[in-house]
Structure formats: structure tokens, C-alpha cells
Amino acid sequence: METKNGPNYKLESLDGLRLTIYEQPNSKLIYIPLVIGVVILMIPIIIFPFIVAEDRGVPLGFVITCVIALLTGGYLLRMYLWNAYGSEVFIIKQNTFSTYYDYKFLKDNVRTFRFQSVAVHGIEDEKNTSGSEMIAFCIDEQTFSSREAIPIDVITQIAKILKQS
């Protein structure tokens, strides 16, 4: 097994290919969605005992507020997990291509395809001029590209590995 690590990626090749591209965290700003999400989730929990103490039942407005708080807090928690631990994973193994977003505790947008041909190339990134490009996998008629840039030599190495297999 050959493993190559970089500052924002990990490339493994053993009976296939696995590329993990890590999201670059934005310093202390990643905690803002976490704090806001926790506050939004705590408001209905704090208010619930006061509503139950009135013995009038649970109003529909409170239930709707709880649902909105749960959805909003869940979205903000997901945003925090992506900024703190997020990574894109691309796996090519025996004519099967899989890609998903890994949030450490959950996986999102899992897609798996069988393919006849695969090609790899780089896509220029406007914000990156330091010898890095976003990678694109051309699977038959579909193209899957990364959100973050990786070094061009890694893209070249992936193309060589795929040509050998």
C-alpha cells in the first residue's frame, strides 16, 4: 500500500485508489455556527417546562417552533462539522467510482457508479495560483470535481495510477 499525505489531502493506493481532500478550516470563525446552533436548540428546551406548567397542553405554535429550531440547529451543526472536520472522499476500485462528503460523524451525498472508462484532469482554481488545481474525475459521461485544490503533481500521479490499472 502506498500512502501519500499532504497538507490538505491523503492519497492511498492499494487494490484501487482512495483520495481524501480535507477542508481548510477558517480559524476561530468555525465556532460561530456551533454556538448559534446550540442556542437555537436550547430555546425550546428552556421554554418547554413553562408551557407544561400551565396545564393547557402544548400549543401548535410551540411544536412548529421546535421543528424549525431542530432543522436550523441541525443545519448549523452540520456546517460546523464540515468546517472543522469536513473532507471529500473519492474511491476508485474495480470499475466502481464512489464519492461522498465525510463530516467525521456522518457521511453525506454518497454516490456510487460503475464505469467503463475513467480520466483525471485538473481544473484551474481562480483563488489558487500556487501550483494547485481542483481535481476532476471524468467517469464515462459524467464529471465529478473537488471543492478544494490539491497539488498538480498529485493529480498527475493519480492519472498514472489509473492508467496502470
pLDDT score recorded for residue 128: 63
- From CA 79, how far away is CA 85, in angstroms rounded? 10
Among 5-9, 29-33, 119-123, 128-132, the least confident range: 128-132
Average pLDDT, the chain: 85
pLDDT at 83 over 80: yes
Grid coordinates belonging to 143: 464529471
User: Percent of the chain scored above 70 by pLDDT?
Assistant: 96
Q: Which residues are CB-contacts of 138 (< 8 A; sequence separation ≥ 6)?
A: 118, 119, 120, 121
What pTM does this model have? Answer: 0.79
- From CA 38, how far away is CA 48, in angstroms rounded? 16
Strands 87-93 and 2-5: unpaired
pLDDT score recorded for residue 129: 59
